Amino acid sequence: MTLTAKSVARVSLVSTLVLAAAGAALLSASPASGAASTLGAAAQQSGRYFGTAVAANKLSDSTYTGILNREFDMVTAENEMKMDATEPNQGQFSYGNADRIVNQARNQGKRVRGHALAWHSQQPGWMQNMSGTALRNAMLNHVTQVASYYRGKIYAWDVVNEAFADGSSGGRRDSNLQRTGNDWIEAAFRAARAADPGAKLCYNDYNTDNWSHAKTQGVYRMVQDFKSRGVPIDCVGFQAHFNSGNPVPSNYHTTLQNFAALGVDVQITELDIEGSGSTQAQQYQGVTQACLAVARCTGITVWGIRDTDSWRASGTPLLFDGNGNKKAAYTSVLNVLNNGTGTTPPTTTTTTSNPGGGGCTATYSEGEKWNDRFNGLVTVSGTDNWIVTVTVSSPQRIIATWNTSASWESANVMTARPNGSGNTFGFTIMHGGNWNWPSVSCRVA
């Protein structure tokens, strides 16, 4: 997304991942002795990257390039690799500004994400006036020519950008590219693979952060279909444009994990969060933790360097202020990256209680969060006659339960049994600054 595409902040997310108590601790902390002192180096400790979007016309700004060179290890061209920039006239390709960004990044030892090969927006005028077979062929030629030109220089391509509609349909966006046939996305991915076989191929979109949203489900079904049929897709990009009224959803980790379970990498590709101070920092913290909790979340890219460089400058959404100073959000992100673990992922344990089988499975999922506590839910499958053990870590303590008969083996270990309310039960944990998820295990009674 860019200035032209982002005329409104189209983020329709619900709930929150505000981690206030933990956030306050992180904001006041300095990096531990021996910890990495930059975002890129800190992310590399867990095998991830931390990148930013770059504009060619700002590379002469010494403050801008100083932060870029110091902090980030992945670069995305903000506008310079899009269709209108790279093929302003049909068959006439222009790479000057894109090359400036790519060469600057590679000379500094950074990798590059290519953004974007095919998109309904920011098309050159000649393409906007095309349709049908002529448009399809022109799109495929564009993908082939641009990906071939940068072959071997790009870590991952956003092959197709924003092809799904907002709202409740979960279907494709109506666009000139969509009207060439529903297989246009698949065709673009196959062309990209042929042109640049060493690059990861990604689908990228916004408003796909909340697992319950129809748009998220629509993209999920497409990726699932592509993987089942061998269409070459390696990753899914989540743009992650948030604001204080529409924060990070509580099921954000679930979204990332479910896509990763399809066999693709997940990447946070255009992160910015409007706001300031501790509230903004806590939201950034939550996103970073969610990525670290998913093994196939390979990196995070923020959409700009300083607040004044942002398409949402009035919302001060980035990690550095207009003077290039580190904000509270920077510190919260750096500390989470240095911690290296983030939120503990859900634990699912299956235990068989007799030689003939009859095991059960307990699956944990997160619920609502508040400053001092959070809810957890456990769903049991395989039997109606179960015993689930829930273990929390100090200083956490369980203060309430529902839909179960509970007893305590110790202050940190609860035993839950059915009480006639079904096979899903819940509890509330006072976290004491420890937001890690409990572990759960199940056995047949």
pLDDT tens-digit map of 344-391: 444 444 443 433 445 788 888 877 777 678 888 898 988 899 999 999
Q: Give the number of other CB atoms < 10 A from CB of residue 170.
A: 17
Look at residue 441 and tell me whether its pLDDT is greater than 50: yes
Out of 339, 373, 389, pick the residue that ends a domain: 339
- Give the residues across from 156 on adjacent strands: 113, 200
CB contact at 8 A, 398 and 414:
yes
Regarding whether 199 and 274 lie in a shared domain, the answer is yes
Annotated catalytic residue: which of 80, 162, 270, 274?
270
Regarding whether 198 and 247 lie in a shared domain, the answer is yes
Regarding whether 286 and 398 lie in a shared domain, the answer is no
Out of 276, 308, 339, pick the residue that ends a domain: 339
Look at residue 16 and tell me whether its pLDDT is greater than 80: no
Kindly state whether residue 75 falls inside one of the protein's structural domains: yes
CATH of residue 245: 3.20.20.80
Regarding whether 396 and 335 lie in a shared domain, the answer is no
Lowest mean pLDDT among 30-34, 58-62, 328-332: 30-34
Residue 34's pLDDT band (cuts 50, 70, 90): low
- Give the residues across from 286 on adjacent strands: none
Regarding whether 428 and 326 lie in a shared domain, the answer is no
Out of 290, 308, 339, pick the residue that ends a domain: 339
Measured in whole angstroms, the distance separating CA 387 from the mean position of its chain's CA atoms is: 35
Q: Catalytic annotation on 366?
A: no
Kindly state whether residue 261 falls inside one of the protein's structural domains: yes
State the Cα–Cα distance between residues 171 and 182, nearest whole angstrom.
Answer: 11
Look at residue 140 and tell me whether its pLDDT is greater than 50: yes
Regarding whether 205 and 79 lie in a shared domain, the answer is yes
State the Cα–Cα distance between residues 445 and 423, nearest whole angstrom.
Answer: 14
State the Cα–Cα distance between residues 343 and 336, nearest whole angstrom.
Answer: 10
Kindly state whether residue 34 falls inside one of the protein's structural domains: no
CB contact at 8 A, 48 and 300:
yes
Q: Tell me the CA distances in angstroms from 201 to 117, 195, 223, 236, 428, one per residue in order.
A: 10, 11, 12, 8, 41
Query: What residues have CB less than 8 Å from 344, skipping those under 6 apart?
Result: 293, 436, 437
Regarding whether 418 and 326 lie in a shared domain, the answer is no
Kindly state whether residue 353 falls inside one of the protein's structural domains: no
Kindly state whether residue 256 falls inside one of the protein's structural domains: yes
Please tell me what DSSP assigns to residue 441: E
Regarding whether 160 and 295 lie in a shared domain, the answer is yes
Residue range 168-185: mean pLDDT, rounded: 97
% of the chain surpassing 70 pLDDT: 87
Regarding whether 215 and 128 lie in a shared domain, the answer is yes
Element (H, E) at 299: strand 297-302
Tell me the per-residue pLDDT of 298-344, one tens digit each, with 9 for 90 and over: 999 999 999 999 999 999 999 999 999 999 999 999 999 998 644 44
Tell me the per-residue pLDDT of 73-132, one tens digit each, with 9 for 90 and over: 999 999 999 999 999 999 999 999 999 999 999 999 999 999 999 999 999 999 999 999
Element (H, E) at 334: helix 328-339
Element (H, E) at 238: strand 235-238
Kindly state whether residue 349 falls inside one of the protein's structural domains: no
Total structural domains within the chain: 2
Regarding whether 275 and 384 lie in a shared domain, the answer is no
CATH of residue 413: 2.60.40.290
Regarding whether 214 and 69 lie in a shared domain, the answer is yes
Look at residue 166 and tell me whether its pLDDT is greater than 90: yes
Kindly state whether residue 347 falls inside one of the protein's structural domains: no
Residue range 268-274: mean pLDDT, rounded: 98
Domain that holds residue 213: 39-339
Tokens of residue 117, six digits: 């090969």
Regarding whether 292 and 400 lie in a shared domain, the answer is no
Backbone φ/ψ region at 109: left (φ over 0), alpha (ψ -120 to 50), beta: left
The whole-number pLDDT of residue 389 equals 93
